[in-house]
Structure 1
Amino acid sequence: MSVVLINPNSTASMTGAALAAARRAAPGTRFEGWTSREGPAVIEGPEDGAACIPPLLKLVDRASEMGAEAIIIACFDDTGLHDARARASCPVIGIGQAAFHTAALIVDRAMVLTTVSAAVPVIEANICAAGLRHVVGTVRACGIHVADLERDPEAAIRVLKAGIDHAVTEGAGAVILGCAGMVDVIGPLRRLSQIPLIDGVAAAARLAQACVPALTVRTVE
């Protein structure tokens, strides 16, 4: 089998973008991308998160039964992560959690830049649950809706760049991009930014590769 990346929302283009980002981050590891077609179109806050959990867990069950070596939940809110882990027979990695732990390994202080204000309390609670509030101390919404990341990426880059610049002035050593939909803008933002930018999809892909070394295809010389 492979690592199954599950997008808990029903927007297939976001699944494709996240899958491509995972494959770039962990070459040699086999990834599949699954879209939760019964989920909401986007996840922006706790109500959307609650709505997406039942169909998400159906896909977790299916992936586990099919022999997935690991599962990645590609929503920065780590939606349904606890329940998914309780029922899966393989490691389940949330992209938010992966990003927080990656930040803690490389800097003393990081900030999350997410989409809308409704997502902030959810992300803050997840940071506290991971015991990493001393590193990831600030979560800020930039006011961009998830769908707008695809609809107008150039405008999103301008707004996110301003948020990153503000984080620098506040002393952040890294900025975590707090939405799976940001995978397609992180490249341009890295070229414009002075500090490390952390993408949760890439972080989760690399952790999956590390957790399940048998997934890596090695060339025998």
Structure 2
Amino acid sequence: MEILVVNPNTTASMTDKIRIAAEKVASAGTTITAVNPTTGPASIEGHYDGALAVPGLLAEIAKGEARHAAGHVIACFDDTGLDAARSLARAPVVGIGEAAFHVCSLIAGRFSVVTTLGRSIPIIEENLVKYGLATRCARVRAAEVPVLALEDAESDARRKIEAEIEAAKRDDRAEAIVLGCAGMVDLAADLSARFGLPVVDGVTAAVTLVESLARLGLRTSKHGGYASPLPKPR
């Protein structure tokens, strides 16, 4: 089966990092196609960037549907364009934020999220309420790291992320950590070993969930809110 993983920003180095992580957890016989739009924001940091990214994201989802991909992953922790993508697609669509929250709720009583910038906190908190998991989240923390700093080996991004995880263990009594950005995908295993608690990355969680949905033969419901778009005059 083919799983399409869409990084909604235009930074190809991040897309490649996402692809490598997705391929590591994909089952034998699953092909990961990782793409990003050619136009749109270089990173998604808040509502404005998210809105700009949606047209390119939906165009990539449409291409995947035309190829009969078995499922789609939206590799932005804000779950940018998720409802619109589900309306467009018949194959299951999973956002990495929703996937990470659900997976973490299965292995820990309470968790904290460590994301990039403070401007993303309201979006993440709203999503937690929408998904019914707000009471399981102790706190959403921001390391105040620009997304593209995660692509710079010389930045102090990792140090700041580690400081927030330490604070989450100490002050939030977090039993697990959710990494709140697709650009952190390569850090989860090392951080889990260092801090001695589960650290969940949404990319790998979403790929695993989409595979499971596809193997169960489940597709996006077209009865109600995710009904296919009606034709409109151009």
- Could you state the TM-score of these two structures normalised by the residue count of structure 1? 0.93
Tell me, in whole angstroms, the C-alpha distance in 2 between the residues paired with 1:68 and 1:121. Answer: 32
Show the 5 A alignment for 1:84-103. 84-103=85-104
Judge conservation of contact 1:112–1:139 (CA < 8 Å) in 2. yes
Cα separation, partners in 2 of 1:13 and 1:214, compared to 1, 3 Å: farther
Instruction: State the match for 1:201 in structure 2.
Output: 203
Tell me, in whole angstroms, the C-alpha distance in 2 between the residues paired with 1:105 and 1:214. Answer: 20
Tell me, in whole angstroms, the C-alpha distance in 2 between the residues paired with 1:192 and 1:4. Answer: 32
Judge conservation of contact 1:153–1:185 (CA < 8 Å) in 2. no
Instruction: State the match for 1:58 in structure 2.
Output: 59
Instruction: State the match for 1:82 in structure 2.
Output: 83
Show the 5 A alignment for 1:23-172. 23-28=23-28, 29-152=30-153, 155-169=156-170, 170-172=172-174
* Structure 2 unaligned residues grouped into runs of 5+: 218-234
Judge conservation of contact 1:115–1:179 (CA < 8 Å) in 2. yes
Displacement of 1:153 after TM fit?
Answer: 6.2
Judge conservation of contact 1:157–1:189 (CA < 8 Å) in 2. no
Judge conservation of contact 2:71–2:93 (CA < 8 Å) in 1. yes
Judge conservation of contact 2:74–2:80 (CA < 8 Å) in 1. yes
* Structure 1 unaligned residues grouped into runs of 5+: 216-221
Displacement of 1:193 after TM fit?
Answer: 1.1
For 2:202, the aligned partner's letter is: G
Instruction: State the match for 1:22 in structure 2.
Output: 22
**What is the aligned length?**
215
Cα separation, partners in 2 of 1:27 and 1:145, compared to 1, 3 Å: same
After superposition, the CA RMSD in angstroms is 1.5
Judge conservation of contact 2:138–2:174 (CA < 8 Å) in 1. no
Judge conservation of contact 1:99–1:204 (CA < 8 Å) in 2. yes
Judge conservation of contact 2:5–2:34 (CA < 8 Å) in 1. yes
Tell me, in whole angstroms, the C-alpha distance in 1 between the residues paired with 2:54 and 2:93. Answer: 14
For 1:93, the aligned partner's letter is: V
Displacement of 1:214 after TM fit?
Answer: 7.9
Tell me, in whole angstroms, the C-alpha distance in 1 between the residues paired with 2:13 and 2:174. Answer: 32
Tell me, in whole angstroms, the C-alpha distance in 2 between the residues paired with 1:154 and 1:118. Answer: 20
Judge conservation of contact 2:26–2:32 (CA < 8 Å) in 1. no
Select between 148-157 and 75-84 the one with higher mean Cα deviation. 148-157
Tell me, in whole angstroms, the C-alpha distance in 2 between the residues paired with 1:185 and 1:195. Answer: 14
For 1:49, the aligned partner's letter is: G
1:198 is paired with a residue of what secondary structure? strand
Cα separation, partners in 2 of 1:214 and 1:110, compared to 1, 3 Å: closer
For 2:128, the aligned partner's letter is: I
Instruction: State the match for 1:185 in structure 2.
Output: 187
Displacement of 1:36 after TM fit?
Answer: 1.2
For 1:176, the aligned partner's letter is: V
Once the two structures are superposed, residues 95-121 of structure 1 have per-residue CA deviations (whole angstroms, 9 ceiling, x without a partner) of 000000001111110011000011111
